[in-house]
Amino acid sequence: MTTTSAKKIAAADVPANRRRGGDVRVLLSPKTVGSTSGFGGVLTLEPGEYVCEHIHPYSEEFVHVIEGTVLMRVGTDEVELGPGDALMVPIGAPHRVRAGATAVRIVFHLSPLAPRPELGHIDLEVPPGSEDAPDPEVGGAR
């Protein structure tokens, strides 16, 4: 029999990562809670701010907009999302997200995990000034 315990992670306790634009906070991951199938967190964007184009070669990404409006580009498709809207980004699809005229809050989840964390994300562009920022830490291999 497996013993489980709940572990609460507060967004305020996780440092913001701004390497790809916006305020990305990985809350639930192999590093923070010992997850084995994926990781997730929150993204905050100020008006007009964006997350640079990137791909996840091993994972689908699930995006749920809580507040604000964003324009998501997935491959060649552009989709506007508002509060309560959700979108799945297929494995390997280039994608980018830009905030509209108001601040945005998004919840995201990626699954399955890449074989190793450094294989999970490939940048296709880099926002100016973020070249030396560290990657978000999600923890060990699955």
Q: Are 70 and 80 in contact (CB under 8 A)?
A: yes
The number of folded domains in the chain is: 1
What is residue 3's three-state secondary structure? coil
CA angle 84, 26, 2 (to 5 degrees): 100
Please report whether residue 96 resides in a domain.
yes
At 57 the pLDDT is 98
At 142 the pLDDT is 42
At 69 the pLDDT is 97
CATH number, position 62: 2.60.120.10
Please report whether residue 90 resides in a domain.
yes
At 136 the pLDDT is 58
Sequential pLDDT tens for the chain (142 residues): 455 688 999 999 999 999 889 999 999 999 999 999 999 999 999 999 999 999 999 999 999 999 999 999 999 999 999 999 999 999 999 999 999 999 999 999 999 999 998 899 999 997 666 556 555 565 554 4
Distance from chain centroid for Cα 112:
13
Please report whether residue 121 resides in a domain.
no
Residue 122: CA count within 13 A, CB half-sphere:
12
Please report whether residue 136 resides in a domain.
no
Please report whether residue 142 resides in a domain.
no
Please report whether residue 4 resides in a domain.
no
At 130 the pLDDT is 59
Please report whether residue 72 resides in a domain.
yes
pTM score of the predicted model: 0.86
What is the spatial distance between Cα 15 and Cα 7, in angstroms, rounded to a whole number? 18
At 46 the pLDDT is 96
